[in-house]
């Protein structure tokens, strides 16, 4: 099977390529940080993207590429459409009907008022990022044997400390003596990128279709997770204050968009890596 991975130079995309290339023929596309075996292609260039799909002729596309910052998406909605929606239309028009798509979506298609959300729950995004993913989901779901995989906030380890995303930033906040204000209202359910990559491989190998959720079950606020890290480090955190940061954001955030993962668990997949497990690995990189 030949698989094309978009967004392969991103935080999740790199983990997906690493997981899949053990078994499949993988072609990796990135843009700003593309290097090595990852080819550079701007998916906003419809002609170049269409040409790539026709030439590569993949059996399956794992579509990770997207703008993910809700504030950016809210402010630059037309630009967001150029990457989060239009490439899916080109993909749908260019791929033969037999080619499958696994599309990475988000818990932000939900409004945060009635968690936990199941795959069939009504979608009511409260920001444009969530709206762009909703529209992209609908394009993908028109294709037979394709998958929408909704995921929450991501966490991960390495390959270096500086490339460890959310957890590295929290460790730096805990270590610093400068005053920091962290949100203590919005619940977050960080899920390991390697678990998501494993879920994608599982869905490919089981010929799954439809909507699935992949997530860790434990939720805390940004402040709560920082306290977890401080406990692991054995460090005082008098300089970190809990705040309600929802009023200072350009884009509204759902207060609790927890995903229920019953469907994926029923077919035999469970995430393995807890927040504490990943945090310990990131802390080890720092030493």
Question: What value does the CA radius of gyration of the chain take, rounded to a whole number of Å?
Answer: 19
Domain containing 172 equals 161-186+219-253+275-286
Q: CATH no. for residue 120?
A: 3.40.50.720
Instruction: Answer yes or no: do 209 and 181 share one domain.
Output: no
* 148, 166: one domain: no
Ordered per-residue pLDDT tens for the chain, 287 residues: 999 999 999 999 999 999 999 899 999 999 877 677 899 999 999 999 999 999 999 999 999 999 999 999 999 999 999 999 999 999 999 999 999 999 999 999 999 999 999 999 999 999 999 999 999 999 999 999 999 999 999 999 988 999 999 999 999 999 988 898 999 999 999 999 999 999 999 999 999 999 999 999 999 999 999 999 999 999 988 999 999 987 778 999 999 999 999 999 999 999 999 999 999 999 999 86
What 3-state DSSP class applies to 30?
strand
Q: Would you state the pLDDT for residue 248?
A: 79
Distance CA 200, CA 191 (A): 14
In total, how many domains does the chain have?
2
Residues 147 and 61 in one domain: yes
Give the tokens for residue 9.
Answer: 């130079």
Q: Which of 24, 31, 34, 33 is nearest to 4 (CA)?
A: 24
Burial 124-138, CB ≥16 within 10 A → b, else e? ebbbbbbbbbbbbbe
Cα 212 from chain centre: 13
Supply φ then ψ for residue 178, to 5 degrees: -80, 145
List own/partner pairs for 21-25 with CB under 8 A and 24 or more apart.
Answer: 23/201, 24/204, 25/1
Q: CA-CA distance, 151 to 244, in Å (whole number)?
A: 24
Same-domain pairing of 29 and 83: yes
**Secondary structure class of 242 (helix, strand, coil):** strand
In this structure, are 62 and 145 located in the same domain? Answer: yes
pLDDT of residue 158: 85
> What was the pLDDT predicted at 34?
66
- With H, G, I as helix, E, B as strand and everything else as coil, classify residue 273: coil
- 71/252 Cα distance (integer angstroms): 8
130 and 180 both lie in a single domain? no
Q: Domain check: are 38 and 170 in the same one? A: no
CB 240 within 8 A of CB 182: yes
Residues 6 and 54 in one domain: yes
d(CA 209, CA 149): 10
- According to DSSP, the residues that pair with 101 across neighbouring strands are 61
């Amino acid at each position: 099977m030949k698989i094309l991975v978009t967004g392969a130079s991103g935080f999740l995309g790199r983990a997906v390529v690493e997981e899949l290339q053990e078994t499949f023929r993988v072609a990796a596309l990135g843009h700003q940080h593309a290097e090595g075996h990852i080819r550079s292609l701007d998916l906003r260039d419809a002609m170049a993207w269409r040409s790539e799909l026709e030439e590569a002729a993949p059996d399956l596309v794992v579509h990770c590429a997207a703008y993910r910052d809700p504030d950016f998406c809210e402010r630059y909605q037309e630009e967001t459409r150029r990457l989060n929606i239009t490439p899916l239309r080109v993909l749908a028009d260019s791929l033969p009907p037999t080619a499958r798509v696994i599309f990475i979506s988000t818990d932000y298609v939900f409004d945060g008022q009635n968690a936990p959300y199941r795959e069939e729950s009504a979608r009511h995004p409260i920001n444009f990022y969530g709206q762009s993913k909703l529209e992209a989901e609908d394009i993908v779901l028109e294709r037979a044997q394709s998958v929408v995989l909704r995921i929450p906030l991501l966490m991960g380890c390495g390959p270096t400390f500086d490339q460890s995303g959310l957890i590295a930033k929290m460790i730096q906040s805990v270590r610093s003596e400068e005053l920091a204000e962290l949100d203590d209202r919005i619940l977050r359910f960080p899920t390991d990128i390697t678990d998501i990559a494993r879920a994608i491989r599982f869905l490919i190998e089981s010929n799954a279709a439809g909507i699935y959720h992949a997530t860790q079950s434990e939720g805390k606020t940004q402040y709560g997770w920082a306290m977890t890290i401080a406990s692991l480090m054995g460090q005082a955190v008098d300089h970190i204050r809990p705040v309600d940061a929802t009023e200072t954001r350009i884009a509204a955030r759902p207060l609790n968009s927890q995903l229920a993962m019953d469907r994926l668990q029923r077919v035999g997949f469970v995430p393995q890596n807890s927040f504490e497990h990943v945090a310990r690995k990131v802390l080890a990189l720092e030493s």
